[in-house]
Amino acid sequence: MRHFLTLKDYSKEEIVEIITLAIQIKKETKENIFKKYMPNKTLGMIFAKSSTRTRVSFETGIYQLGGIGLFLSSNDIQLGRGEPISDTSRVISRMVDMIMIRNDSQEELEEFASYSKVPVINGLTDKYHPVQLMADYLTIIEHDLQNNLRVAYVGDGNNMTHSWLMLAAQMGFELRIATPKGYEVDKDIYFEAMQIAKKTGAIITTTDDPKEAIEGATVVTTDTWVSMGQEDEKEKRIKDFKGFMVDEAMMSLADPKAIFLHCLPAYREYEVSTETFEKHSEVVFSEAENRLHAQKAIMVWLDKKRDEK
Ligand code: CP
Ligand code: NVA
C-alpha cells in the first residue's frame, strides 16, 4: 500500500504514470464520460485548516469516480478535542477506503499514515503541498513546457516552495528559488532535494534576487507571503517581502512564452500585481481546475496499488 505524503517518495516514472492517468481522466471528464474507477469507495477528508480548492476538488473527484467523500472538519470530530491522532487514524481507516488530510504538521500526518489501514493523501501541511504540484505539472505539460523546463519561484520559502523542490529534484528540471533573507527554504528539505537532484540531473539554485531567478524562466510562480497560521506576522512580512511582487517588469525578464502559475488564493498587489494576475488568469484558473483531474488520478492510482497487494 502507498500513501501520497510528499513527492520525495515518488520517482519520475511514478509521477509520469499518475500524470498520464490524469490526462486520460481529464479527457474522459471533458467528454462527459465518468468511469466508475472507485465504485462505492469512501474518501474521508479531514480538514484542520481552511480550503476552497482542495475540498471541492476532492469531494467532486471521488463522487465522479463513483464513490463518496466525507467532509470532517477537525473542529467537529473528536480530534479537535484532543483524541490522539493515532486513535483517529485507527478508527477512520477501518471504515473508509482512503483518507485525505490537511493539517499543520507533516510529522503528525506521517504519524496518522503510519497507523492507517488505507492510503493517506497529504492535502497540505506546513512542509508540503504535493497534490497542488501534480496539478501544476499537468498544467505545464498542457502548455508543452516540460522540455527544457526552467521554473522560477519568487516569494516565501514555504510548503509550496518545498513541493517545487521535490518535483524539480524528481523530474530533473531547473528550479531557481528567490526568497528574501530570513525566509529561505527549510535546510533539511533543501539538502534532501539536492541529494535526489544529483541522481536526476535537476539544477536547483537559490538566491535573494528575484530578477536573477526569473531571467529566462519558462514558468514563473509565487505563493502568498502569509500562509495559514502566520496571520500575526502579516505586517512584518509585507515589509520584508518588499521587491518580491511578481509584476510586468519582472515578467518581462522571463522567456517571452513564459506562463505564470499560482496555487491560489492570490493576494493582489502583494505577491503578484493585479495586472500580471489578470493577464495570466486563464492559465491560473486552468491550474486550479487541474486539481480535480490530477487528484482523481492520484486516488485511482493509490486504490489500484492497494488492490495489487
Ligand atoms: N491551493 C489550495 O490548496 O487552495 P485551497 O486552500 O483553497 O484548498
Ligand atoms: N502556502 C499557503 C498555500 C495555500 C494553498 C498556505 O499554507 O497557506
pLDDT in tens, 251-271: 999 999 999 999 999 999 999
Which grid coordinates belong to 5? 505524503
Determine whether 90 is an active site residue: no
Q: Residue 309 above 80 pLDDT?
A: no
Of all residues in the chain, the percent with pLDDT exceeding 90 is 99
The CATH fold assigned to 7-129+291-308 is: Rossmann fold (3.40.50)
- Give, to the nearest 10 degrees, the angle between helix 159-171 and helix 187-200: 20
* pTM to 2 decimal places: 0.98
Q: What is the pLDDT of residue 271?
A: 98
Paired sense of beta strands 42-47 and 68-73, if any: parallel
Residue that is written with C-alpha cell 505524503 in the block? 5
Q: 223 in ligand 2 pocket by Cβ < 6 Å?
A: yes
With a 6 Å cutoff on the Cβ, whether 102 touches ligand 1 is: no
d(CA 167, CA 175): 9
Q: Do residues 1 and 98 touch, judged by C-beta distance below 8 A?
A: no
169 pLDDT exceeds 90?
yes
Residue 186: its pLDDT value, please? 98
Mean model confidence pLDDT for the chain: 98
Cα–ligand 1 centroid distance for 23 (angstroms): 21
Indicate whether 26 pLDDT > 90.
Answer: yes
Residue 191 confidence (pLDDT): 98
Distance (Å, rounded) from C-alpha 217 to C-alpha 220? 6
Residue 213 has pLDDT above 90, yes or no: yes
Ligand 2: residue whose CA is nearest its atom 6: 227
Cα–Cα distance list, 157 to 5, 119, 153, 289 (Å): 19, 28, 9, 25
pLDDT at 307: 83
Q: Is the peptide bond before 39 cis (omega within 30 degrees of 0)?
A: no
Sign of CA dihedral 289, 92, 4, 305: negative
Residue 13 pLDDT: 98
Report the DSSP pairing between strands 98-102 and 219-222: unpaired
CA–CA dist 2, 95 (Å, integer): 18
Give yes or no: 291 in active site: yes
Query: Rounded CA gap, 38 and 40, in Å?
Result: 6
* Domains in the chain: boundaries: 7-129+291-308, 131-287
- Give the model confidence (pLDDT) of 51-96 as tens digits: 999 999 999 999 999 999 999 999 999 999 999 999 999 999 999 9
Q: What is the pLDDT of residues 122-151, one digit of tens each?
A: 999 999 999 999 999 999 999 999 999 999
Distance 212 CA to ligand 2 centre (A): 25
Q: Are 130 and 295 in contact (CB under 8 A)?
A: no
Model pLDDT, residue 244 = 98
Of 131, 136, 158, the residue with max ligand 2 atoms within 8 A of its CB, to mutate for a pocket test, comes to 158
pLDDT, mean of residues 158-185:
98
Question: Which ligand sits closest to the CA of 135?
Answer: 1
Instruction: Based on the residue annotation, tell me whether 24 is a catalytic residue of this protein.
Output: no
pLDDT in tens, 278-291: 999 999 999 999 99
Q: Give the CATH number of domain 131-287.
A: 3.40.50.1370
**DSSP annotation string for 151-179:** EEEES--SHHHHHHHHHHHHHT-EEEEE-
User: Is 247 designated active site?
Assistant: no
255 is catalytic: no
